[in-house]
Amino acid sequence: MSENGKPKTKLLDELEKGPWPSFVTEIKKTSDVSPMCDDLLGQLELSYEEKKGHWKHGGIVGVLGYGGGVIGRYSDVPEQFPKVAHFHTLRINQPSGWFYTSDALRTLCGIWERHGSGLTNMHGSTGDIIFLGTKTDELEPTFAELTAAGFDLGGSGSCMRTPSACVGQARCEWACYDTMKLCNDVTQAYQDELHRPPFPYKFKVKCAGCPNDCVASAARADLSVIGIWKDAIQQDDAEVAKYAAAGLDIQRDVCARCPSQCMSWDGEKLAIENSDCVRCMHCINVMPKALRPGKERGAALLIGSKAPILQGALLSSVLVPFVPAEELMETIQELIKRIWEFWDEYGKNRERVGELIQRIGMPSFLDAIGLDPAPEMVSAPRDNPYIFFQNKEQN
């Protein structure tokens, strides 16, 4: 299988061809950092030959006092590839918006070169920095160096998972609140719940600055915070005219694409009936110099999205139609407190909040967390007659 300690990788070598940067090349060139990379390649080649994975989960590993942040991983062919017999992952909580200085990145690289494989994911699906592959006895030393450098682990298991945010007001004119600050504040406020899994299952918060939702908050967060504005779209007629002069077909490409048909164009003036606007972002996306979100900004809070496990995929749905930007943190903390209390008591093992709502019904969930029903929460009222009237409304 190997030559001079380097694995033969006939199949993987095929993945070094072509214009897109190759992960195989990344692993090969890290061989000078750790011999783990050679055995990783060897085992991966075996997976490519046999068309099956060779990792086991199993075994609780972690750092002292934390219940998450490390994913235990073991080879199921350790005799063949002893250097990856243990190959654990560390999740490291990313800074909001994934901003770094070169020095911060070099610090992280140095730590991982000393204690692990030298391989990373920038970043994992939830948003964390992923340190890919180390041995059990390297976990504490890695953690000590990380915390000394100001970094901490992210979440794993049935905990508050590492929150994430889009670039927000750092670079985007559409951000309706400070996504990066909210993400950081929420992360810091729930450190205990993040590091010591207390829940029936995972709980994710994602902060998107506008309805374009660049962090897929509506698809992936139990609590989706999606920026939105309340007043009129800010409109610069001179810039609208420039877009038209430059060849944009405003009638066809802007007005006709508006989902609520709230705008009209007479060849000179764009008229927007803002009371009909659903804040979809299309016209703003097409003409960023001419149109901008309004000035009364905040966020809509949506609840319950998740990937398919266990009962099927869900998208988040509206829970609070609008919270002013300056009240967001306080509102979210109060809401989270009520949701967690209820979920903790009534949620089944491995039941996400969205599935709990499916099981008991949204009206009961609203009762439990003390929110009044609002028509913004539904696309339509129920179309079946199976109404369970509450005792207090019966004689």
Partner 1 sequence: MTTTTSPKRITDIGPPNYEQFLPPIIKRNYGQWKYHETLAPGVLCHVAESGEKLYTVRAGSPRLLSVHTIRLFADLADKYCGGYLRFTSRNNVEFLLSDPANIEPLKQDLHKAGYPVGGANNSISNIVHTQGWVHCHSSATDASGLVKCMMDALYPYFVEEKLPAKLRIAVACCLNMCGAVHCSDIAVLGIHRKPPKIKHDVLPKICEVPTLIASCPTGAIRPATVDGKQSVEVLEEQCMYCGNCYTVCPAMPLNDPDNDGLSIWVGGKVSNARTSPKFTKLAIPFLPNNPPRWPEVVNAVTNIVEVYAHNARKFERLGEWIERVGWPRFFQLTGIEFTRYHIDDYKHAGLTFARSTHIRF
**DSSP for 124-163, written as a single string:** -TTS-EEEE---GGGHHHHHHHHHHTT--B---SSSB---
| 381 is an interface residue for partner 1 by CB under 8 A | no
CB 250 within 8 A of CB 282: no
Among 70, 90, 159, 180, binds partner 1 (CB under 8 A): 180
- The residue range among 168-176, 262-270, 330-338, 362-370 that interacts with partner 1, by the rule CB under 8 A, is 168-176
Which among 253-261, 267-275, 336-344, 382-390 is the span making contact with partner 1, rule CB under 8 A? Answer: 253-261
Q: Tell me how far, at minimum, the Cβ of 82 lies from partner 1, in Å.
A: 17
Q: How many alpha carbons lie under 13 Å from residue 18 in its C-beta half-sphere? A: 10
C-alpha–C-alpha distance, residues 131 and 297, integer Å: 38
Q: How far is the CB of 156 from partner 1 (least distance, A)?
A: 11
Interface positions, 319-348, toward partner 1 (CB under 8 A): none
**Among 70, 175, 205, 369, which residue interacts with partner 1 (rule: CB under 8 A)?**
175
Q: Which amino acid is at 177?
A: Y
For residues 155 and 91, the answer to whether their CB atoms sit within 8 Å is yes
3-class DSSP assignment, residue 272: strand
One symbol per residue from 204 to 223: x for binding partner 1 (CB under 8 A), - otherwise; what is it?
-------xxxxxxxxxx---
Q: Which stretch binds partner 1 (CB under 8 A): 189-197, 269-277, 365-373, 384-392?
A: 189-197
Q: Is the dihedral of CA 233, 235, 241, 245 positive or negative?
A: negative
CA angle centred on 371, ends 365 and 377, rounded to 5°: 80
Least separation, in Å, of the C-beta of 33 and partner 1? 6
Rounded (10°) CA dihedral 131, 134, 140, 144: -40
Please, where are the H alpha helices in 270-327? 282-286
Minimum Å gap between C-beta 313 and partner 1 is 4
Nearer to partner 1, 279 or 343 (CB): 279
Question: With CB under 8 A, what is the number of residues at the site for partner 1?
Answer: 124
Stretch that binds partner 1, among 89-97, 269-277, 361-369, 387-395 (CB under 8 A): 89-97
